[in-house]
Amino acid sequence: MSESKRTVVITGGSMGIGRAICLRFAREGARIIFVHYDPDDLKANETLGILDKADVEAKAKKLDVSSFSDVEEFFQEVVREFHRVDVLVNNAGITRDAFLMRMSEDQWDQALMVNLKSVFNCTKAAMRSMMKERSGRIINISSVVGEIGNIGQSNYAASKAGIMGFTKSVARELATRGITVNAVAPGFIDTEMTRNLPEKAREAFLSRIPMGRIGEPDEVAETVYWLASKGATYITGQVIHVNGGLYM
């Protein structure tokens, strides 16, 4: 095992933006450990297959990021095996859209648990090893919707706005420990999550993007990678928007 390799943990790495982030870190030769939850392993195996072809040391773990105890156990395993976590990307997320009038308690709870509590769970579990090493990068994937809101997404918007507040608070707590904490807020990105949007909502979003096109997962991954690179040593507590001008 080469100790010069960075150990990078990415939640929700089986597809979409998470997969693009795995592949971006793979290009530097990092050790990739990604988490997913769907019992159907197809997407996770696809990601593993691509990483394997590129000769990258990679591992996938099926885990519900909203479970505090399972996340804690997982990070203990990672540290036991690889000694440290250099980079944590909190990317896993879901939508449970409904107008507030019709939103069930379960829809609210699921969105908050998977999108926000997971960020608390993973950050708390990973920061111990980072504090010991006095170095680390934590990047949380928020959303433009956390900034501007969206009809039918009060639960999702609350979770993503919560990530911004969490990021800034933890950045302050860890600033003297050599650990940076930042958030990336994507706009409208081409993944399974947005492919399921009704055509009318898609068109409405597109009409509001000054660059006139949907974003690619790779464009988000590049920003995440940059925040974990030597180029971003003096950047913490920031929310970087990747949205083609949708919010400025």
Which residue in 38, 46, 73, 173 binds ligand NAP (CB under 6 A)? Answer: 38
Residue with Cβ nearer ligand NAP (41 or 230): 41
CB of 214 to ligand NAP, least distance (A): 8
Return the biggest CA–CA distance within the chain.
54
Q: Of 55, 46, 59, 57, which is closest to residue 20 (Cα–Cα)? A: 46
Please, what is the minimum distance in Å from the beta carbon of residue 219 to ligand NAP? 11
State how far the alpha carbon of 36 is from the alpha carbons of 65, 66, 93, 167, 188, in Å. Answer: 8, 11, 10, 22, 22
Q: Would you count residue 188 as binding ligand NAP (CB under 6 A)?
A: yes
Residue identified by tokens 């974003």 is: 215
**Per CB under 6 A, which region of 87-95, 100-108, 122-130, 167-175 contacts ligand NAP?**
87-95
Token output for 219: 């464009």
Other CB atoms within 10 A of residue 243 CB:
23
Question: Does 244 sit near ligand NAP (CB under 6 A)?
Answer: no
Interaction of residue 140 with ligand NAP, rule CB under 6 A: no
Site residues for ligand NAP, window 197-236 (CB under 6 A)? none
Which residue among 156, 225, 234, 247 is the active-site one? 156
Q: Does 192 bind ligand NAP (CB under 6 A)?
A: yes
List the catalytic residues.
Answer: 156
Please report, as ranges, the residues that interact with ligand NAP according to CB under 6 A. Answer: 11-18, 35-38, 63-66, 91-94, 114, 141, 143, 186, 188-189, 191-194
